[in-house]
């Protein structure tokens, strides 16, 4: 029976330490990854008959094999008469659920940094957690739901700084003394006329940008010291930050933007720095726009047919992924001005894709969260099937974050912040 099964000649290669001879092997044409992995393990074991223990994935022309070899070759119009080169790599381990951090309302934004996690909530509060799930502080201060949080500085000395944007149209700049666990609101950044939905800090930690439902992009100083762009303005109607530890008696000052740029015709939903001079924004107006902050103008525009809900840019591959209301994640190369600007479309979610985040260590990996309650881990080389589905949320996911390489974070309308442990293989 086996003799009647059509075979195809394949040649294996790898960048890992598990090498096999480069001579062609004859394999049944209807094999899948399970059979190919068993074959590689048997070759590595040198025919000893021992069961192999390494799980492998296989790529043909840079795309993961997710169906049988025959169907893949047919879909790509590959000739079965020629030798097919197949790369094999160790399969990445599945992320493991670690912890669930309970909030009092929807978890709308998350950002990890070093050993700490910031979260923003629809009950108007900001939370600081350790990566092991201990809550260090709950911080009032905003008068409406918190929509965005970002670390500014978490490296130098005992003082860390971060920012929070809110539906109350303000951005608050905070100083946190990790040794005494005291927090101070240094500045209230005012200028937006709509909900502040997204924030991004530049790599030198000197400036940050904000996107709002008022359609405006604004640039701000991230310096903790008072400069010429601040004015004394203590708002008696806003709560002073307090809890766990007393806060200092510093006067909160109003900070105004350094620059305001307009062009979007609907709310800005995602923002990121591509470099120290270029900012990228996505919007409900179906566009991606690149801005030259030195020249203070829009430099390019990429048009889509769907609402954008979020974006994430990777410094490792200079590409960005976007989350859309049509259930798709798309990969873009912002450097391309002609031809196929959308490099790939990733389809698996069953609801609006609300949030995306690149890995900081692997140029191929990113995560997405959706209104279908599921967070997915993707490899850009596997457009049809995600690597893993991470379930557990009982309601829609509003935000995901992969700022800490070993932790995948998700927050949702079930008031939960979920932590998944991820340890990459070699």
Report the top-level CATH class of 96-421.
mainly beta
Whether 96-421 and 2-90 are alike in CATH topology: the answer is no
Q: Where are the domains of the chain?
A: 2-90, 96-421
In this prediction, residue 236 carries a pLDDT of 37
Looking from the CA of 291 toward its CB, the CA atoms found within 13 Å total 25
Residue 81 pLDDT > 60:
yes
Residue 239 pLDDT > 50:
no
Residue 205 CA to chain centroid, in angstroms?
19
Phi, psi of 357 (to 5 degrees): -155, 130
pLDDT in tens, 149-206: 999 999 778 999 999 999 999 999 999 999 999 999 999 999 999 999 999 999 999 9
Question: Which one has a higher pLDDT value, 335 or 411?
Answer: 411
Q: What percent of the chain has pLDDT over 70?
A: 90
Instruction: Tell me the C-alpha distance between 104 and 256, whole Å.
Output: 32
Instruction: Tell me the C-alpha distance between 62 and 19, whole Å.
Output: 18
**Order of strands across the sheet that contains 135-139:** 107-113, 116-121, 126-130, 135-139
Q: How deeply is 305 buried, as exposed, middle or buried, from its count of CB atoms within 10 A (0-12, 13-18, 19+)?
A: exposed
Name residues whose C-beta falls within 8 Å of residue 47's C-beta, 6 or more positions apart in sequence: none
Is residue 349 within 8 A of residue 389, CB to CB? The reply is no
Is residue 98 within 8 A of residue 420, CB to CB? The reply is yes
Give the mean pLDDT of the chain.
Answer: 90
In this prediction, residue 1 carries a pLDDT of 39
pLDDT-based confidence at 339, cuts 50/70/90? Answer: low
- The CATH number given to 2-90 is 3.10.20.90
Q: How far apart are the first and last CA of the chain?
A: 40
Q: Rounded to the nearest 10 degrees, how much is the dihedral formed by the CA atoms of 103, 104, 110, 112?
A: -30
What value does the mean pLDDT take over residues 221-245?
52
In this prediction, residue 241 carries a pLDDT of 44
What does 362-396 look like in DSSP terms, one character per residue? -TTEEEEEETTS-EEEEETT-SSS-SEEE---SS-
pLDDT in tens, 55-74: 999 999 999 998 999 999 98
């Amino acid at each position: 029976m086996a003799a009647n099964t059509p075979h195809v000649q394949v040649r294996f290669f790898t960048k890992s330490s598990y090498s096999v001879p480069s001579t062609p092997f004859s394999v049944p044409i209807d094999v899948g990854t399970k059979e190919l992995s068993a074959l590689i393990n048997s070759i590595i074991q040198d025919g000893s008959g021992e069961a192999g223990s390494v799980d492998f994935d296989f790529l043909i022309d840079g795309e993961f094999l997710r169906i049988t070899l025959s169907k893949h070759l047919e879909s790509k119009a590959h000739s079965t008469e020629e030798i097919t080169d197949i790369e094999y790599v160790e399969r990445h381990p599945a992320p493991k659920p670690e912890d669930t951090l309970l909030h009092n309302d929807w978890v709308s934004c998350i950002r990890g940094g070093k050993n700490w996690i910031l979260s923003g909530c629809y009950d108007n509060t900001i939370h600081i957690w350790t990566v092991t799930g201990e809550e260090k502080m709950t911080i009032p201060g905003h008068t409406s739901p918190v929509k965005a949080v970002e670390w500014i500085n978490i490296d130098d000395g005992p003082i860390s700084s971060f920012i929070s944007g809110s539906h109350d149209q303000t951005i608050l700049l905070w100083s946190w003394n990790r040794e005494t666990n005291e927090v101070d609101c240094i500045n209230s950044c005012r200028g937006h006329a709509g909900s502040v939905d997204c924030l991004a800090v530049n790599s030198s930690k000197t400036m940050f940008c904000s996107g709002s439902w008022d359609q405006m992009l604004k640039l701000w100083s991230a310096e903790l010291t008072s400069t010429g762009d601040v004015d004394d303005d203590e708002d008696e109607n806003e709560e002073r930050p307090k809890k766990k530890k007393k806060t200092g008696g510093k006067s909160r000052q109003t900070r105004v933007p350094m620059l305001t740029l307009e062009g979007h015709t609907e709310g800005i939903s995602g923002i990121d720095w591509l470099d120290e001079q270029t900012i990228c924004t996505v919007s409900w107006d179906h566009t991606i726009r690149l801005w030259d902050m030195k020249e203070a103008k829009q430099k390019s525009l990429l048009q889509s047919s769907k609402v954008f809900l979020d974006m994430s840019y990777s410094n490792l591959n200079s590409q960005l992924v976007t989350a859309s209301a049509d259930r798709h994640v798309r990969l873009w190369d912002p450097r391309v001005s002609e031809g196929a600007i959308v490099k790939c479309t990733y389809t698996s979610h069953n609801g609006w894709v609300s949030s995306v985040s690149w890995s900081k260590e692997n140029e191929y990996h990113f995560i997405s969260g959706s209104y279908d309650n599921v967070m997915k881990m993707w490899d850009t080389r596997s457009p049809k099937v995600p690597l893993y589905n991470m379930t557990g949320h009982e309601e829609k996911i509003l935000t995901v974050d992969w700022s800490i390489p070993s932790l995948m974070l998700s927050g949702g309308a079930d008031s939960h912040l979920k932590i998944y442990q991820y340890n990459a293989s070699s």
